[in-house]
């Protein structure tokens, strides 16, 4: 593929024959950048074999020096990719998604004293990247491409007046009638997508201190490309592109998933491919799978995207004690086929709420999951559209139930993400939640699922095999290491197996499937029920079944029936 030609074609589709001088300037920059930057090549499709660990640097262990000290802990856990939640310079009113400077790490994350030069601060980050790479751990990080902080220099200038050269970096109106079909995403915390500023209003899809960028201005597109390239030069292996469906706005639409948004994403991808192919672009698109797959394009947009609907359906399946929500979600009826190079990213919990947006769950699903898991009123988020709680809290602090949830995620198709602390059953952090309310002025219950790790206490707990943390950690770690041994989990296809009761009726509480890739075949059997289950698999083992964790399956050859304890899971090599 001739990437310069591709970029010119995309530019013409977005802007017509206008602003060719901006494109010409960008091409000159791009050629010079490419001549000066000679990175190590990325392995094609490396993200399919990744096990991702998501963390806030400061909450995990203070700063990048502290995080570097914990790389051995992460290596021992078995992960091979770190997803850094926002680390760029920010006022931190939205946990770092409100970016003030795209080319600077937040000062407090460097561990260096005030007055230290910018190059020294940047060197701390590069040193962390180097240490991670030496341990075969890749690093990706968040970058918000849809909006900035109101403290970003562009916006500081833009609000000075209509004639300011940065005014057109953002979207302004004399009234609030424009884009009226765009939904309010932070319902319950924001009442409008417009914020008054003098005699004008500026547009925002998220908090009112996060003005949306105006991609109708081509300089915005080229500047954001330069920001991606800056971090590629620092050694970052990929980007989680935050809030990707909202990049382009069009009157008379809901301003989501518009055709020009896809053209912009293709432009980002072509730029990245030109400089360092296989640099991951991960789409954060809270949409139905049929909409998310469009962000893969024909293999020329994002490499991967979150399977947002699968996450709540895993929780529904466990609450309902039935495999059917998961099976239906992964069927072609809900989840279309994706390009060969593309990948779903899966997760149980993340830095946000357990989202129940009506974009991808029915009202019936939303009500059921909310009723089953929102055990305390303060866990409610966005008036019933989410639950702010850690995995351990949602699972009633039951180590075996937590392990079952991990087993489900780690064996289904896709690349799994582990949210920091969930590997040892971290609880909601009430103290952190209250402190953030005081600092931000926003009652954002998502702060419950964040908070600091007490490493001294954790080290003590992990040395005690009977402790709650150790019981969770031991099972999660074992699963991660077994998953890493088999490419079938990240790359293989899935064959669902029927599980049948003695009377011939389906046993929906037992989820069984085979993951197959090349000559690897793995049979996964999981009891989603809080009660003992027996089911006929119609699958005869050649020898006694010993699962990958050294446990012998209780299989009755006469009745061809497998017996499972509550929440038991088996990973069997066939």
Catalytic residues: 242, 284
Degrees to nearest 5, angle at CA 240 with 238 and 243: 150
Quote the tokens at residue 236.
Answer: 């970052």
Kindly list the strands in the beta sheet with 561-564, ordered across the sheet, starting from the edge strand earlier in the chain. 533-536, 561-564, 554-556
Beta bridge partners of 511: 526
d(CA 475, CA 459): 17
The conformation of residue 426, written as its DSSP 8-state character, comes to P
- The token pair at 508 is 């929906």
Helices (H), 374-526: 391-394, 399-411, 430-440, 455-463, 468-485, 488-491
Dist. CA 87–CA 510, nearest whole Å: 42
304, 340 Cβ separation under 8 angstroms: no
Q: How far apart are CA 290 and CA 150, in angstroms?
A: 34
Six-digit token string for 518? 């090349």
- Residue the block writes with tokens 């004639």: 163
- Cβ atoms within 10 Å, residue 275: 19
DSSP-derived secondary structure for 240-270:
EEETGGGSS--TTS-SSS-HHHHHHHHHHHH
Q: H or E element: which one contains 366?
A: helix 363-373
Distant-in-sequence, close-in-space partners of 163: CB < 8 Å, separation ≥ 6: none
CB 540 within 8 Å of CB 516? no
**61, 70 in Cβ contact below 8 A?**
yes
Give the max Cα distance, the chain: 84
Q: Where are the beta strands (DSSP E) in 270-366?
A: 280-283, 304-306, 343-347, 354-355
d(CA 450, CA 504): 46
Report the C-alpha gap between 269 and 260 in whole angstroms: 14
Give Cα separations from 247 to 211, 271, 296 (angstroms). 12, 17, 16
Euclidean distance between the first and the last CA atom of the chain, given in angstroms as a whole number: 42
Helices 468-485 and 455-463: angle between axes, nearest 10 degrees? 80
Sequence-separated (6 or more) residues with CB below 8 Å from residue 60? 66, 67, 70, 420, 453
Residue 42 and residue 277 in contact, taking contact as beta carbons nearer than 8 Å: yes
């Amino acid at each position: 593929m001739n990437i310069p030609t591709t970029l010119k074609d995309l530019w013409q589709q977005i802007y017509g024959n206008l602003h060719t001088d901006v494109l010409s300037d960008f091409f000159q920059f791009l050629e010079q950048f490419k001549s000066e930057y000679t990175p190590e090549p990325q392995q094609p499709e490396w993200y399919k074999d990744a096990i991702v660990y998501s963390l806030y640097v400061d909450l995990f262990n203070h700063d990048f020096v502290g995080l570097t000290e914990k790389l051995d802990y992460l290596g021992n856990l078995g992960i091979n990719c770190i997803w850094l939640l926002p680390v760029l310079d920010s006022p931190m009113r939205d946990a770092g998604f409100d970016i003030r400077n795209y080319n600077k790490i937040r000062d407090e994350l460097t561990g260096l004293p005030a007055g230290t030069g910018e190059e020294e601060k940047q060197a701390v980050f590069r040193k962390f990247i180097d240490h991670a790479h030496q341990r075969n751990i890749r690093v990706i990080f968040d970058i918000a491409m849809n909006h900035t902080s109101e403290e970003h220099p562009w916006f500081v200038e833009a609000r000075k007046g209509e004639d300011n050269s940065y005014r057109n970096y953002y979207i302004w109106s004399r009234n609030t009638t424009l884009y009226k079909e765009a939904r309010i995403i932070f319902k319950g915390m924001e009442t409008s997508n417009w914020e008054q500023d003098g005699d004008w209003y500026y547009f925002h899809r998220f908090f009112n201190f996060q003005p949306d960028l105006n991609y109708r201005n081509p300089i915005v597109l080229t500047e954001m490309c330069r920001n991606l390239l800056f971090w590629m030069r620092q050694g970052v292996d990929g980007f989680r592109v935050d809030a990707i469906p909202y990049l382009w706005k069009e009157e008379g639409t809901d301003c989501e998933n518009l055709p020009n948004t896809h053209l912009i994403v293709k432009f980002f991808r072509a730029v990245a491919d030109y400089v360092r192919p296989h640099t991951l672009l991960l789409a954060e698109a809270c949409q139905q799978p049929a909409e998310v797959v469009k962000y893969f394009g024909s293999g020329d947009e994002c490499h991967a995207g979150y399977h947002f609907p699968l996450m709540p359906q895993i929780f529904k399946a466990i609450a309902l004690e039935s495999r059917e929500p998961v099976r239906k979600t992964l069927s072609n009826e809900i989840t279309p086929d994706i390009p060969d190079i593309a990948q779903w990213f899966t997760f149980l919990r993340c830095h946000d709420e357990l989202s129940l947006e009506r974009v991808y769950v029915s009202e019936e699903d939303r009500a059921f999951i909310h009723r089953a898991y929102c055990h305390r009123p303060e866990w409610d988020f966005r008036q019933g559209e989410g639950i702010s709680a850690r995995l351990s809290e949602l699972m009633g602090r039951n180590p075996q139930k937590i392990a079952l949830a991990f087993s489900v995620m780690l064996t289904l198709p896709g690349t799994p993400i582990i949210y920091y602390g969930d590997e040892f059953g971290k609880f909601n952090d009430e103290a952190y939640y209250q402190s953030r309310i005081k600092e931000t002025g926003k009652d954002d219950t998502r702060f419950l699922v964040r908070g600091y790790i007490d490493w001294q206490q954790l080290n003590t707990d992990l040395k005690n095999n009977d402790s709650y943390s150790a019981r969770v950690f031991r099972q999660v770690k074992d699963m991660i290491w077994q998953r890493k041994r088999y490419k079938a989990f990240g790359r293989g296809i899935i064959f669902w197996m029927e599980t049948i009761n003695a009377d011939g009726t389906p046993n929906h509480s037992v989820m069984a499937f085979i993951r197959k890739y090349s000559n690897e075949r793995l049979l996964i059997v999981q009891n989603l029920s809080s009660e003992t289950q027996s089911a006929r698999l119609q699958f005869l083992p050649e020898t006694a079944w010993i699962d990958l964790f050294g446990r012998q399956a209780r299989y009755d050859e006469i009745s061809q029936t497998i017996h499972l304890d509550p929440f038991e899971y088996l990973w069997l090599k066939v």
